[in-house]
Amino acid sequence: MSTTITRLVAGTPVPFGGDRVTTITPEIAEAFQPGDHLLVLQETGDLLHIPAAQIARAAVAVDRAHAAFLAMAAVPDRAIDQFFDHFATHLEDRSAWGAIAEANRQDVARAQSGGRSTTRLVATDRMRQDMIAGLRAWRDSETLRGRVVERIAHPGWTVEQVAAPLGVVGFVFEGRPNVLADAAGVLRGGNTAVFRIGSDALGTAQAIMQHALAPALDEAGLPPGAISLVESPERSTGWALFADRRLSLAVARGSGRAVAQLGSVARQAGTAVSLHGTGGAWMVADRDADPERFSAAVGASLDRKVCNTLNVCCIHRARVTDLVPVFLAALESAGRARGFGCRLHVVAGDESVLPHGWRTATVRVRRAEGARTEPLTEIQSEDDLGHEWEWEDTPEVSLKIVDDLDHAVSLFNRHSPRFAASLISRDPEAHRRFYATVNAPFVGDGFTRWVDGQYALNQPELGLSNWQSGRLLARSAILSGSGVFTLRSRVTQDDPQVRR
């Protein structure tokens, strides 16, 4: 017999995971009020307190999105085309973009004053043009909605597998204002969406909704709840959203721990998830790597800090003499391009391959909380190779010397977030073996920054997924709007006498 919890007592044991236990903290016990929810994550034992007000905010947004989804069945594809075109046109409008840029300027100033990273927050003109291009790409793309993807003929009757909209998609992003345009692609297939964006980018998101997205929905005749923004800076609102069982898909991008929590919440609610938390690409320079190709790949992989930026470089021990200087020069060049030098982490035992100056010098580094002086090189343990370096303008990479290609692959499979891997080698057999054995969804032979839906597939991405939690069922690790669908089966019976 179940009852409703109206209060919590500090120290109360709470079982999780089948054989473990955590306890109610005094802070949660004191804050908990009637109507609030307490989620116990079975994977970690984390206790998530969701106030009733945040549950209500998320529920209202999902209510609107669910109603809009039912209405989208009657919306013609032409109206969806017009929505994308109107959205892009509003972003091109100087007055509308001026209001968005001003909101973004205020968001950036608040984040900087709080010592938080702004590398993904600034709404640059390049970001604006990418948003516009992505929306126009959706406008011109074909929809899967209603497409017959398979037909099976039987004597007297036929079965068709028909692509259909999936439903309401919930999104939680941190400081990325452009995701409102990227993830609007779910409308292409007749789906609807609810967003919760991090507090740092909330003002920018609200401005995009007010000056571009909402007017585009209205002008195209789409239901107003087709895309909703939960206007709350509280992280618990994201938990409330992902706990709503009416979501058909939950997409989260941000920092590793926050994304992992959100994924656990959604999975416990029975909702499919697309998660990308820890990033950082790996590059391996093999025994027969071409120095010029290696240098170019390193430089092109360090132009800015995002998830597909080079994070760990492995160099074959037989090529230390010539390739380590090439790597260091490319790292220095990437730092000069941003005006703040560079930083290196080398695995303990490999520091002897570095010139003396690299082991003793310091460098001026710009962190989110401000500029400061740090050692140019630091020693790290092999077990920490999975750590993703978050930098603003000072490229930061780990270096590991490996015995051979198999050694590098073993390190990647054991320590990395199983995301992106690149091999620099002239040997086709080495590339075949690398692709066959490295446990990554994204594998290449040059720079790592190609891992992006719009750049690689000409489709704005809703999110990337790494393989930290296992391989994905029947889909790419790049999730785009065209990948959000389900299949319905439709039978046509020509012979009324058919029976089993």
SS3 192: strand
Q: Which residues contact 13 (CB under 8 A, 6 or more apart)?
A: 21, 22, 23
Q: Which residues contact 391 (CB under 8 A, 6 or more apart)?
A: 119, 305, 343, 365, 367
Structural domain tally of the chain? 2
Helix (H) or strand (E) holding 59: helix 52-72
Q: Are 282 and 311 in contact (CB under 8 A)?
A: yes
Does residue 33 sit within a domain?
A: no
Q: Are strands 37-40 and 47-50 parallel, antiparallel or unpaired?
A: antiparallel
User: 355 and 268 in one domain?
Assistant: no
Q: What pLDDT shows up at residue 290?
A: 98
User: What string of pLDDT tens digits covers the 500 residues of the chain?
Assistant: 678 999 999 999 999 999 999 999 999 999 999 999 999 999 999 999 999 999 999 999 999 999 999 999 999 999 999 999 999 999 999 999 999 999 999 999 999 898 888 878 899 999 999 999 989 989 998 889 999 999 999 999 999 999 999 999 999 987 778 888 888 999 999 999 999 998 899 999 999 999 999 999 999 999 999 999 999 989 999 999 999 999 999 999 877 788 889 999 999 999 999 988 788 999 999 999 999 999 999 999 999 999 999 999 999 999 999 999 999 999 999 999 998 899 999 999 999 999 999 999 999 998 878 889 999 999 999 999 999 999 989 999 999 999 999 999 999 999 999 999 999 999 999 999 999 999 999 999 999 999 998 889 887 778 888 888 888 888 889 988 778 999 999 999 999 999 99
User: 368 and 260 in one domain?
Assistant: no
SS3 367: strand
User: 355 and 410 in one domain?
Assistant: yes
Whole-number Å distance between alpha carbons of 205 and 311:
30
Q: What pLDDT shows up at residue 472?
A: 86
Q: What pLDDT shows up at residue 460?
A: 74
Q: Are 466 and 417 in contact (CB under 8 A)?
A: yes
Does residue 463 sit within a domain?
A: no
Q: If phi over 0 gives left and psi between -120 and 50 gives alpha, with beta otherwise, what is residue 420?
A: beta
User: 94 and 191 in one domain?
Assistant: yes
User: 289 and 223 in one domain?
Assistant: no
User: 297 and 178 in one domain?
Assistant: no
Q: Are strands 396-402 and 20-23 parallel, antiparallel or unpaired?
A: unpaired
DSSP for residue 488: E
CA proximity to 188, closest of 146, 246, 152, 150? 146
Does residue 46 sit within a domain?
A: no
Residue 475 phi/psi, 5° resolution?
Answer: -155, 160
User: 142 and 214 in one domain?
Assistant: yes
Q: What pLDDT shows up at residue 340?
A: 87
> What is the distance, to the nearest Å, from the Cα of residue 316 to the centroid of all Cα atoms in its chain?
31
Q: Are 409 and 286 in contact (CB under 8 A)?
A: no
Does residue 23 sit within a domain?
A: no
- Look up the domain containing 437 and give its range: 281-447
Residue 37 has which token pair? 């929810």
User: 401 and 264 in one domain?
Assistant: no
Q: What pLDDT shows up at residue 142?
A: 86
Q: Are 302 and 309 in contact (CB under 8 A)?
A: yes
Cα Rg of the chain (Å, integer): 25
Residue 4 has which token pair? 């409703």
Q: What pLDDT shows up at residue 257?
A: 84
Our CA angle for 330, 362, 397, nearest 5°, is 40
User: 146 and 57 in one domain?
Assistant: yes
Q: How far is CA 329 from CA 350, 355, 378, 496, in A?
A: 18, 12, 18, 76
Percent of the chain as helix, strand, coil, to the nearest 5: 40, 25, 35
CATH of the domain at 320: 3.40.309.10
CA proximity to 185, closest of 259, 263, 83? 83
User: 292 and 263 in one domain?
Assistant: no
Whole-number Å distance between alpha carbons of 239 and 227:
19
Does residue 339 sit within a domain?
A: yes
CATH of the domain at 160: 3.40.605.10
> What is the distance, to the nearest Å, from the Cα of residue 437 to the centroid of all Cα atoms in its chain?
24
CA proximity to 486, closest of 162, 149, 164? 164
Whole-number Å distance between alpha carbons of 307 and 314:
18
Q: Are 86 and 215 in contact (CB under 8 A)?
A: yes
SS3 123: coil
Q: What pLDDT shows up at residue 1?
A: 65
Does residue 462 sit within a domain?
A: no
SS3 406: helix
Residue 262 has which token pair? 């959100």
Our CA angle for 271, 272, 275, nearest 5°, is 120
User: 154 and 85 in one domain?
Assistant: yes
Does residue 14 sit within a domain?
A: no
User: 184 and 201 in one domain?
Assistant: yes
Q: Are 186 and 192 in contact (CB under 8 A)?
A: yes
SS3 160: strand
Does residue 25 sit within a domain?
A: no
DSSP for residue 125: H
Whole-number Å distance between alpha carbons of 169 and 150:
25
pTM over 0.95: no
Exposure string for 445-479, b = 16+ CB within 10 A, e = fewer? ebbbbbbbbbeeeebbbbbbbbbbbeeeeeeebbb
Q: Are strands 461-464 and 478-480 parallel, antiparallel or unpaired?
A: antiparallel
